[in-house]
Structure 1
């Protein structure tokens, strides 16, 4: 009897050790790039009508304020500049562009393990935004962001499995020179993570400086062009239906430098876009189609992400409603239009209007993140850390967002119905002469890690256990994890010789 008990105990220990060991990637319950697309708020006819309306808007209304270089590129491609200066896009030009656009975009990481395949309905979650404040959970306050905060955000994101890319989430308010701001934003992110990075440029002439830095990090221009691990987040339009002149010039320079482009149209429904969800989607689609023509006129087949980012508006107050159900529908509808065109696409989700990581933040972040994933959105931007309708960013919320996105990704994975998962044989064994329950069966233990996502910070203890553990606080746990991450040297930091060379060439504000 004693020997049998020891044997069972040893078996349990071995199984427990096996369950705690990292799973092979193909066995993990969730992973980057899982296909979504099961949620479809738009019917096929709805999408046909949105497409037709976008084409009509481009033909009859067009876009104003293209820079002279853009006018030259677009008219050479077949667009028409009217006497009013607006660029109009014949239907045939748009359709020809759609037919030859790049549909095999991979956004690369400095580490190839973090490459993002944007084909089909593959879903990836990451950061984004331009928050000007950092949320301090210790005293429930906001302060201006700095370059150290950006670097810390990248370092934290690098350690989170469910944050798949790092588009710059905050603005370094402690750097007043715009060129130094752009260069330091790239440096702070690249020194913090080897995942794919998104950034922007203030002026066209700054692009060459940023690209020079990227060449140094990559090991030369050829290495950079072979694996561009930073993309340009480009607000190429000022809704409604106007080009952002200087941003378009930035985009042209980025394309020439081999940098992938996020074509970002961010109209505000009820202010700079129609107040209806369908109308806001139509305008955003039209603007991004114009951007796609622009990109392909500069360089056919250049990698571009179709970035329809319409936002909601509280019409009572004029405040942005990033955490609303309407925002979730806007994003899901845009994701469907990306798939309608079979184009790699991105949109915003996971934003909260809450000022702190509280219950409001949780329900708002989960609502749009789940719907974005279920709709098959390739790039879910602003998925974690963003508060106060994009005005604030929180490191602790980024960490908690990793847990939240893990649950969202499990929803994306869906339900597998196979002979094995329907488990009739297991039901028979348990019910007919078996223990009458499934706890501890080989099938249950064998699949517990493959089928279930376990939160790192979410508390599933009983009230008694919770009390015995000292009533652990969620925010305090996230703060401790932040401190643990930041106490270690970033894995992405550069070789000392390279870092010295970068610092001798550029005014780097981040301490060595």
Structure 2
């Protein structure tokens, strides 16, 4: 063979390698990615079938014998009309048959719509989605290592950052706009700040029932009309409809009624604290949360049968030595995983809290706490994992850098959720034979290895896997500094979620928008 025949052969091989490298570097189709929103969990089952049945029967006992107090008059009318019993003590009790009937006819699948139609969330079965929540009152300043009050700009920035993070699937308001003292303006500006920052689904709360009408008007304007809003409601109401133990939150219930009438999905949120406003035992706290959310489910379906509702059992752990919340504890992980199992027991879309930390900064404590609860929530098949990134100080502080780092952490959690596929291809017997008998004796560079680099493995965006030598050569990069740089990069670019100029001008003419134009 002469040189003229050798050269083209080398070029062909080189071109083939270059093409393969380019193919591996190109983004994979959504269905071929190693992880994606809505992956099926459910392999972790800390409760047995008998455990779940006992929790359910005890919840029915609590509803039938104890009931809930403090419903608004409108709620009393709805619930009594549905078959509940108003006692002389003012408590509403729920007959077992009514609760069972409501469970049977409740909405089994809820879609939380995005504004652009690209990131809709299908809440059914064991599909897992991670996102923010928490309503913190402080921002964590990682450079100064201190806390300050959160602002509407901070909320907008959190939305903009979340919009760019693949593993943050939704944005529920993670902080309160402390720079807006008027509650009506705070609620309306929270909607504006979040929806102008991300096209992903957004969750918000309302302080008073009278604010809901203005909020719906704003949402109709953003959607392009009430009909378009009702067709694809891209904002849901996070509603603390109960004050544990076993009392309705009167004004929140009135808010809920208005949101249901306005076509807005509702998160029925019961957030008892084990040892304070819920029993100290994990089983007891789960049972009370289930009882309260079952009451909420009856309420929602009495207002509008089949209305989209998320079964939001959110019991929190408590450090019984001090009375402080312990959102990053093993007990919290079990509370959330057990709640996820109960959602599947009822076959109702559900959500709970996981991924928050008691640590004040994004440090090692935060890492172990966030991963412990986040991965167990995913493995248990929790549909909506709230507070999954950015939350610190037992929900008192939110951190933009931690939100960005949480994207990496959730990526690894989702890989755990995906689990292990066992089939002829993944068992790789033929590959082992070819490698060991007459082959190179290793699997580096084989077609099988290269073909699965992206579809099987999740790589951190900011996490460091270099050797100590490489780390030194790279000037010893710091994880928090890398997260801060990523934050500045995102916020330095124009948001893709911004409203068109005409819509934005109309919103600013109608409402007192605090963010600069």
Cα distance, 1:12 vs structure 2:
2.6
- SS of 2:454's partner is helix
Match of 1:214 among 202, 212, 219: 219
Match of 2:79 among 74, 77, 80: 74
Residue 361 of structure 2 aligns with which residue?
A: 356
Q: Report the more deviating stretch, 404-413 or 15-24.
A: 15-24
- SS of 1:138's partner is coil
Cα distance, 1:104 vs structure 2:
1.8
- SS of 2:453's partner is helix
Q: Distance in 2 between matches of 1:329 and 1:294?
A: 28
* Pair 1:319 & 2:347 matched: no
Residue 414 of structure 1 aligns with which residue?
A: 419
* Pair 1:378 & 2:380 matched: no
* Pair 1:244 & 2:235 matched: no
Match of 1:495 among 496, 500, 505: 500
Cα distance, 1:2 vs structure 2:
6.0
CA offset digits 1:116-167 (Å, max 9, x no partner) = 0001000000000110000011110100000000000000000000000000
Residue 229 of structure 1 aligns with which residue?
A: 234
Q: Distance in 2 between matches of 1:202 and 1:325?
A: 33
Query: Superposition pairs for residues 342-353 of structure 1, below 5 Å?
Result: 342-353=347-358
- SS of 1:114's partner is coil
Cα distance, 1:13 vs structure 2:
2.3
* Pair 1:478 & 2:483 matched: yes
Query: Superposition pairs for residues 299-314 of structure 1, below 5 Å?
Result: 299-314=304-319
Cα distance, 1:266 vs structure 2:
0.1
Q: Distance in 2 between matches of 1:189 and 1:28?
A: 28
Residue-pair matches, total: 512
Residue 429 of structure 2 aligns with which residue?
A: 424
Residue 399 of structure 2 aligns with which residue?
A: 394
* Pair 1:89 & 2:100 matched: no
Residue 341 of structure 2 aligns with which residue?
A: 336
Cα distance, 1:9 vs structure 2:
3.5
Q: Distance in 2 between matches of 1:110 and 1:238?
A: 32
Residue 196 of structure 1 aligns with which residue?
A: 201
Q: Unmatched 5+ residue regions in structure 2?
A: 1-5
CA offset digits 1:173-204 (Å, max 9, x no partner) = 00001100000000000000000000000000
* Pair 1:98 & 2:103 matched: yes
Q: Distance in 1 between matches of 2:466 and 2:8?
A: 33
RMSD: 0.8
Q: Distance in 2 between matches of 1:395 and 1:11?
A: 42
Q: Distance in 2 between matches of 1:3 and 1:481?
A: 44
CA offset digits 1:21-72 (Å, max 9, x no partner) = 0000110000000100000000000000000000000000000000000000
The TM-score with structure 2 as length reference comes to 0.98
Residue 117 of structure 2 aligns with which residue?
A: 112
Cα distance, 1:489 vs structure 2:
1.0
* Pair 1:507 & 2:512 matched: yes
Cα distance, 1:6 vs structure 2:
4.5
- SS of 1:112's partner is coil
Q: Distance in 2 between matches of 1:111 and 1:51?
A: 39
Q: Unmatched 5+ residue regions in structure 1?
A: none
CA offset digits 1:291-338 (Å, max 9, x no partner) = 000000000000000000000000000000000000000000000000
- SS of 1:353's partner is coil
Q: Distance in 2 between matches of 1:472 and 1:146?
A: 30
Q: Distance in 2 between matches of 1:511 and 1:136?
A: 22
Q: Distance in 1 between matches of 2:511 and 2:173?
A: 19
Q: Report the more deviating stretch, 53-62 or 102-111.
A: 102-111
Q: Distance in 2 between matches of 1:122 and 1:7?
A: 45
Q: Distance in 2 between matches of 1:157 and 1:17?
A: 28
Q: Report the more deviating stretch, 7-16 or 31-40.
A: 7-16
Q: Distance in 2 between matches of 1:501 and 1:385?
A: 33
Cα distance, 1:19 vs structure 2:
1.1
* Pair 1:455 & 2:453 matched: no
Q: Distance in 2 between matches of 1:358 and 1:221?
A: 45
- SS of 1:451's partner is coil
Q: Distance in 2 between matches of 1:427 and 1:11?
A: 25
Residue 62 of structure 2 aligns with which residue?
A: 57
Q: Distance in 2 between matches of 1:430 and 1:164?
A: 41
